Structure 1
């Protein structure tokens, strides 16, 4: 049988199933990655380290998919007895490359998620935890690649003691991989645990990172299929299911590292009905009480602004000749002869060191902030004629 017959699905050739899995996975991965690039270039710049890791993962995934298709060309999915020695060697070499690239791709997706968590916070212990996990992932990837690469994959060892030994290595590698997914999920919980925000909001944040936990079931199934290959004598034909599950795990892992960024993408298409987005993006973060930037406000106190129908905060009309010692100007809120003033101040002035959490170096819309407690005081005095 010629190797070109791998394009067709027959009872003795299942290589086309692998080709379909590769095609579907690449389409979805590229689509989701394009959304991520759109978010970083148009909605929430800049392009950060987490995006660079995701980009690396996509590039490696393209290489892994190519190596998988080459293995299909050389006989993956076909009966081993119908392949020539040159075809079998080509299958083994391409499968060897695909296995190494698979590890690098999923490691890049894990690093992208841990770096994204580091991007979402400016708290020191959160940053230490996130970067520590990133370093651990890199070390795991290096050790895993060496475990698969040594000894080399050759035709003389494939059906003997080398193959069971390889399954043992895969079991250890995937075991650490699933443990890392659990650690990343636990880190997302740790990220929002001490924040003062509604439980529903915390659940949304944690739920976005929970998607990575869904990678664990197909990983377990993949190991199960790899184990079943040990008990069969037809390596090329019985490797179809592990190859398909490899594509599922790799592509879903790459897509999962973008899911926490999707809210920013959906915000770009918001119609502003109900003022669900523009208010907290502009009126809350862009204006301070005295019409100045946050760094110019005094004493942690702000004057309330009116919000028009467009969701923008309108600049208050200043009362002539009235300036408070704390730097907050009085505003004429009512036309009658009553002098009214609304002051908003933080309950604890010693918390001023948390001010940098609101800036986060220009990437404030993608950062989870610590909630401050504020006191609102209203004053009304009879205005002199």
Structure 2
């Protein structure tokens, strides 16, 4: 496959009849960025893996299958070369690789949208029934769209028609235009849904803009979808579909890689940190380990019930921030003394309660709070 050009070894030389090297570069870069993004997402949510994380994992796994289909076509079936350099079997197998990559691309792209929607659902819909309904409705629409897209692009368009010079699959421009239109509409819907859910919240305008700005990165996916359709149209009218396919598949890699990255951007600290503080939460991955105890003060606490936000995992496992202050929050022995002076109060003193320190702490090995209250009542005659 490789060749020496001017004394340098070139893995996949690019020429007028061979553009496989361009597709190699685009696919490898998209693969690298996708894997790095998943590692970053794991680092962000390593304490509490919500459903949005597992969906982006599934999207990345499907994307790996898409990359594998491209590499298989490039390595074994002359994908990326002119039709004149492809045998009949190569044309058929390269067509299968291209169609497999398209189907996996649609599935992975849809899963990235679902991951963002599930993240929004956890972020906004804890006490908002309308937000849950909107997110669930959008999830259902994405599911219908991806199934309809796979069927619509492959009905009466088999692998044998992918690189045919005549009798090429008809209607591909219309089919891809419909697919890309809904692809773009879903990205717009996600963006406007973030605005609808953030605006009613009682927080500063700067915080709201920061959250909405995080979701606005998804709008670039719509731009890549439109560019992708343009190169599909070039393939449909090209005299050499083998070369024209390279550029449609190239923009497919660009859109997929960016869609995977844009699904993680809203979870970054710089965008939601202020939102969490405004809501009274702290992300679990910002909580430091505060199990270190000093030699002079040890507090053993009984098991307590978790808060509602902890049970629901409102923002990928948000929890109340525990303190690491070394000074005791509750003194070991507070003393409260009250002395009352006045005429005729001898009888009152007999009926006033006298508090002493508690003998237990309801489950702890040591008393957590000890409280001594001493009340003295006396009467002095006025002079």
TM range (shorter): 0.5 to 0.7
Match status 1:252 vs 2:289: no
Match status 1:66 vs 2:80: no
1:178-201 alpha-carbon deviations (Å, 9 max, x no partner)? 000000001111121101111111
Where does the alignment leave 5 or more consecutive residues of structure 2 unmatched? Answer: 4-9, 274-281, 289-303, 308-322, 339-383
Deviation of residue 124 (structure 1)? Answer: 1.3
Matches within 5 A, 1:72-83: 72-73=74-75, 74-83=77-86
CA separation in 1, counterparts of 2:83 and 2:306? Answer: 70
User: Which of residues 19, 26, 29 in structure 2 aligns to 1:14?
Assistant: 19
Equivalent in the alignment of 2:123: 120
1:287-340 alpha-carbon deviations (Å, 9 max, x no partner)? xxxxx9997xxxxxxxxxxxxx977896265964499xxxxxxxxxxxxxxxxx
1:11-37 alpha-carbon deviations (Å, 9 max, x no partner)? 321101101111111111111111111
Q: Does the 8 A contact of 1:39 with 1:264 survive in 2?
A: no
CA separation in 2, counterparts of 1:15 and 1:109? Answer: 27
Deviation of residue 222 (structure 1)? Answer: 1.0
CA separation in 1, counterparts of 2:246 and 2:325? Answer: 55
Q: CA-atom RMSD, angstroms?
A: 3.2
The 1:52–1:310 alpha-carbon spacing in structure 2 relative to 1, beyond 3 Å, is closer
Matches within 5 A, 1:151-166: 151-156=156-161, 158-160=164-166, 162-166=168-172
The 1:70–1:209 alpha-carbon spacing in structure 2 relative to 1, beyond 3 Å, is same
Match status 1:170 vs 2:183: no
CA separation in 2, counterparts of 1:265 and 1:206? Answer: 9
Deviation of residue 71 (structure 1)? Answer: 2.1
Matches within 5 A, 1:61-140: 61-73=63-75, 74-121=77-124, 122=126, 123-140=128-145
CA separation in 1, counterparts of 2:81 and 2:74? Answer: 8
TM score, norm. by length of structure 1: 0.67
Deviation of residue 9 (structure 1)? Answer: 2.3
Q: Does the 8 A contact of 2:211 with 2:271 survive in 1?
A: no
CA separation in 1, counterparts of 2:138 and 2:112? Answer: 13
Deviation of residue 243 (structure 1)? Answer: 1.0
Equivalent in the alignment of 2:58: 56
The 1:313–1:251 alpha-carbon spacing in structure 2 relative to 1, beyond 3 Å, is farther
The 1:310–1:104 alpha-carbon spacing in structure 2 relative to 1, beyond 3 Å, is same
Equivalent in the alignment of 1:315: 329
Equivalent in the alignment of 1:381: none
Deviation of residue 282 (structure 1)? Answer: 7.4
Match of 1:164, SS state, is coil
CA separation in 2, counterparts of 1:161 and 1:169? Answer: 17
Matches within 5 A, 1:170-209: 170-209=176-215
Structure with larger Rg: 2
Deviation of residue 57 (structure 1)? Answer: 0.6
Deviation of residue 146 (structure 1)? Answer: 1.2
The 1:224–1:315 alpha-carbon spacing in structure 2 relative to 1, beyond 3 Å, is same
The 1:313–1:231 alpha-carbon spacing in structure 2 relative to 1, beyond 3 Å, is farther
Where does the alignment leave 5 or more consecutive residues of structure 1 unmatched? Answer: 268-276, 284-291, 296-308, 324-385
Match of 1:251, SS state, is helix
TM score, norm. by length of structure 2: 0.68
Matches within 5 A, 1:277-356: 315=329, 320-321=335-336
Alignment: residue pair count: 287
CA separation in 1, counterparts of 2:235 and 2:46? Answer: 45
Q: Does the 8 A contact of 2:99 with 2:159 survive in 1?
A: no
Deviation of residue 63 (structure 1)? Answer: 0.5
The 1:235–1:51 alpha-carbon spacing in structure 2 relative to 1, beyond 3 Å, is same
